[in-house]
Amino acid sequence: MRAYLSRRYRLSASHRLHTDAFTEGENRAVYGKCNNPHGHGHNYVIEVTVGGSVNAETGMVCNLADLDACVRKEVVERFDHTNLNGDPLFQDRVPTTENLCIDVYQLLAKAFDKAEVVRVRVEETSNNSFEFPLQTPNAARC
């Protein structure tokens, strides 16, 4: 039987939303306070969902220790207590939480081979969250 397991991780990082494609005025108009040249930070919550058949011997989709180790290595150690704008992934892209969410999904989908990474959800604040990719199991039943 196919089930899904989700685990939440935390990391703190700073960023500045700014693109050279806009003028200074446009950057301020589009990004508002997030365009502050000195940057600002968030406590991000990274919710990772993996899916797969429940292993008959272990009762698990995958061993949590394996998932924890992968997320720690690929995501938490990479981004925690850093400035996202300095990461190679954001040299030519704005480190919005949309982009961070997509990148975290792609890093984990590539690195984790014990189960399928089906969704990453990132909470930038308790009021803002982002999910990628859009997948709704069982949608046909609705």
Say which residues have a Cβ less than 8 Å from residue 50's Cβ, sequence separation at least 6: 4, 5, 6, 61, 62, 67, 112, 114, 115, 116, 117, 118
- Does residue 34 carry a catalytic annotation? yes
Rule CB under 8 A: say whether 76 interacts with other proteins. Answer: no
Rule CB under 8 A: say whether 133 interacts with other proteins. Answer: no
**Site pattern 17..56 for other proteins (x: CB under 8 A):** --------------------------------x----x--
Which of 57, 88, 92, 134 touches other proteins (CB under 8 A)? 57
- Contact yes or no for 49/132 (Cβ under 8 A): no
Rule CB under 8 A: say whether 92 interacts with other proteins. Answer: no
Q: Looking at the DSSP assignment, which residues form a beta bridge with residue 120?
A: 48, 132
Rule CB under 8 A: say whether 134 interacts with other proteins. Answer: no
- Contact yes or no for 39/16 (Cβ under 8 A): yes
89 Ramachandran zone, left/alpha/beta (phi>0; psi -120 to 50): alpha
- Does residue 81 carry a catalytic annotation? yes
Which of 4, 22, 31, 130 touches other proteins (CB under 8 A)? 4
Interface positions with other proteins (CB under 8 A): 1-9, 49, 54, 57-61, 63-65, 137-138, 141-142
Point out the residues that are catalytic: 34, 81, 124
